[in-house]
Copies of this chain bind each other. A is one copy, B any other.
Amino acid sequence: MDLQYALELIGTYFFAISGALAVQDREHDLFGAGFTGFITAIGGGSLRDILLGAYPLVWIGNVNFLYAIFAGLITTFLFSSVVGRLRKTFFLFDTLGIAFFTILGVEKSLLLGFRPEVAAIMGMFSAVMGGVIRDTLTNVMPILFRKEVYASACLAGAVLYLGLDYFGLGRNINLLSSIALIILIRLIAVRFKLSLPTLK
């Protein structure tokens, strides 16, 4: 099992936890929390693959992703009081998660032969659309519109990856640089409460 596959499974595990925790404060039962965790974990990648026509979807072709989600939900249910207090830890995991999924989405799109412009959008979608679908289903203003530098950090990382790739930088350094950029933008924005300007 190579590193990328392992990281993808771990990312899916954490996305499921963050999705299930998202409805903790509201009137959802255990099943609703599990359903929300599931949608959060598979939403972004599924939308990307449906838009690209890349069948089978990752979690349908490989049920290990379903087991990773299941493990995440069990973790949440057993340790919800502990897990709920680890908000800072989860902010870190979520940030790592969106950074990693962005570049994974970019690479998959390029590998399938799509144009860089399309790959950039698919990278961002992979990372953030699970959360957007989750928020839409639970009638919350999508995360995308609340945390301004959430999706735009992913887009910036995707563009950096494509730029460095164009200039022939090796994959490993490129991967690290782009992921680092996403994390850096996100951390700085949250730390200093930065946000993008609005339309007048």
A residues engaging B (CB < 8 A)? 20, 23-24, 27-33, 35, 46, 50-53, 55-57, 60, 63, 66, 76-77, 80-81, 114-115, 117-118, 121, 132, 136-139, 141-142, 144-145, 148, 151-152, 195-200
Contacts and interface: CB of A to CB of B under 8 A. Distances in A.
A28 B55 CA distance: 34
Given A35-B144, A136-B136, A137-B132, A63 B115 contact: yes
Contact of A63 (B117, B137, B141): B117
B145 A32 contact: yes
Contact of A80 (B24, B121, B200): B200
Copy tally for this chain in the complex stands at: 3
Given A51-B46, A139-B141, A142-B137, A33 B199 contact: yes
A62 to B, nearest CB: 9
Contacts of A132: 137
A66 B120 CA distance: 12
Given A28-B145, A31-B148, A50-B51, 19 more contacts: A20-B199, A27-B198, A28-B198, A28-B199, A29-B148, A29-B195, A29-B196, A29-B198, A32-B144, A33-B198, A35-B145, A51-B60, A52-B56, A53-B56, A63-B117, A66-B117, A76-B199, A136-B136, A139-B141
13 contacts: A28-B199, A29-B148, A30-B198, A31-B151, A33-B199, A50-B51, A53-B56, A63-B115, A66-B117, A77-B199, A80-B200, A138-B141, A139-B139
